[in-house]
Amino acid sequence: MITEEPLLFEISCPGQTAVAMPDTDVPPVRPEQVIPKTLLADAPPPLPEIGPLDLVRHYTALAHRLFSIDQHFYPLGSCTMKYNPRVNEKALAHSGMADLHPYQRDEDVQGLLEMMHRLAEYLAEVGGMAEVSLQPAAGAHGEMTGLLIINAYHRDRGQKRSKVLTPDTAHGTNPASCMMCGNTLVTVKSQPDGRVDLADLRSKVDADTAALMITNPNTCGKFDSQIGDIADLLHKAGAQLYLDGANMNAVMGITRPGDFGVDVMHYNTHKTFSTPHGCGGPGSGPVGVAEHLRPFLPVPVIVRRENGTYGWDHNRPKSIGKVRSFYGQIGVLVRAYAYMRALGAEGLRTASEKAVLAANYVAARIRHRYTMPFPPPYAHEFITVPDFEGTEIREVDFAKRLLDYGIHPPTMSWPIHHCLMIEPTETESKRTLDRFCDVLLTMADEAERSPETLRTAPHEMPVGRLDEVAAARKPVVRWRANGG
């Protein structure tokens, strides 16, 4: 049953309070003692007054309206919304982690430093890279760091190279990172099968090319098997190969970017190694580099000293400098470490195999009813265009209707028009995958028999279709008494 949940302001009752504390026996500090009189308001702000139980019920009711990975299947392509093992949270809540202060002396935080050093080594091993910096705080931040490293490398060799190439399937953050780093963006076409168009790439690589930023497997869910040739092509032209490693969950333990010619990469630790953050949340985008780029990594770099203790190496004269305060997004890093330790090397490979199997299973079950712009096999995700002859139904209608079935919509309308990008992840059971396929097949029937059902969805949600233009142009972001 959908019930309207009133705002706290609407259920406010003068005199109610959610906090029951005895009166203090310490004389209170009056506002006028600490704030200049001219800055003081005439009266306290009209905040809602609510009893404790009503307050708890209000927030619990709102929380139950959320779509979340703990309550719903969440096949959000490219975001890897998988299970967050609770043991990771336990590791993070340990006082040896949770109570640390970033200004503590290195001697006092040896355990954390050892963990970070090990994590950097594990990531380097998974990616086949020589060294990893844990500093960048998100995938996009990793991209920027990687490009700064590449630019510093070319500068150090006395070369001025400005062009960065990205395939037309690139995640939006790739072109944005190019612009942030002062590079010129050039787009490379893809072939009909979703892989890079080599002829187009060849025609665009020249002496001004700093790098190609490629995502592999790419955002069409295809592993680009030409990657070795692509690396050769770039290296022969003196350019670097950057890998957007956001999709590493498809290849962990199966292949390594360093082995197929990648010079710099970032890891989306917050997706591949748990802590999925679809629609926001903390992130972490460590950057790995091949041997020749180690001098350019951000400082400080975590090191193990000869006496077995851990500390920071600031002495890298060619470093691009610091890219984040303190040492990185520790919470996500601890979770990633716990995740990798729990799975082990074999377990990481199995996770990738299951992610790939899940995507290919779902694709195989629905492909007789849905258009698949790219041929199988797929990596950990795939793209489908829900187009049904004689109907005007679009991807957004499918996304909204899925909500009625208790499923979070997939990523939409990218990297090609009108598509849904489906990533089931390795942590979903076959039962859940089957239910999802059944729902998609039912929706295909609905599209043909009663398209209006999709066009007007969702029907079971507290809020239906919004006027998206008004929401963007005339947002109503605060409550006013009497709707004023």
Ligand X SMILES: Cc1ncc(COP(=O)(O)O)c(C=O)c1O
Give 167 or 261: the residue with its C-beta nearer to ligand X: 167
Minimum distance from residue 176 beta carbon to ligand X (Å): 9
Contacts of 283 (CB under 8 A, 6+ apart): 137, 138, 139, 141, 268, 269, 270, 275, 277, 329, 332
Binding-site size, ligand X (CB under 6 A): 15
Give 256 or 277: the residue with its C-beta nearer to ligand X: 277
Q: Which of 109, 186, 234, 246 is in the footprint of ligand X by CB under 6 A?
A: 246
Question: Taking CB under 6 A as the rule, does residue 274 contact ligand X?
Answer: no
Stretch of residues binding ligand X (CB under 6 A), selected from 137-145, 158-166, 183-191, 220-228: 137-145
Contacts of 464 (CB under 8 A, 6+ apart): 456, 458
Question: Taking CB under 6 A as the rule, does residue 147 contact ligand X?
Answer: no
Residue list 254-273, contact with ligand X (CB under 6 A): 268
Minimum distance from residue 242 beta carbon to ligand X (Å): 11
Contact 78, 245 (CB under 8 A): no
Cα–Cα dist 381/478, whole Å: 39
Give 127 or 458: the residue with its C-beta nearer to ligand X: 127
Contact 337, 118 (CB under 8 A): yes
Give 260 or 405: the residue with its C-beta nearer to ligand X: 260
In one-letter notation, the amino acid at residue 149 is I
Contact 168, 190 (CB under 8 A): yes
Residue list 201-220, contact with ligand X (CB under 6 A): 215, 219
Give 113 or 140: the residue with its C-beta nearer to ligand X: 140
Residue list 76-115, contact with ligand X (CB under 6 A): 78-79
Q: Which of 167, 285, 410, 415 is in the footprint of ligand X by CB under 6 A?
A: 285
369 burial via Cβ count (<10 Å: 0-12, 13-18, 19+): middle
- DSSP string of 258-327, one letter each residue: GGGT-SEEEE-HHHHTS---TTS------EEE-GGGGGGSPSPEEEE-TTS-EEEE---TT-----SSTT
Residue list 155-194, contact with ligand X (CB under 6 A): 171, 173
Give 171 or 256: the residue with its C-beta nearer to ligand X: 171
Residue list 441-480, contact with ligand X (CB under 6 A): none
> Among residues 216, 173, 241, 168, which one has the least CA distance to residue 380?
216
Which residue ranges make up the site for ligand X (CB under 6 A)? Answer: 78-79, 138-140, 171, 173, 215, 219, 244, 246-247, 268, 283, 285
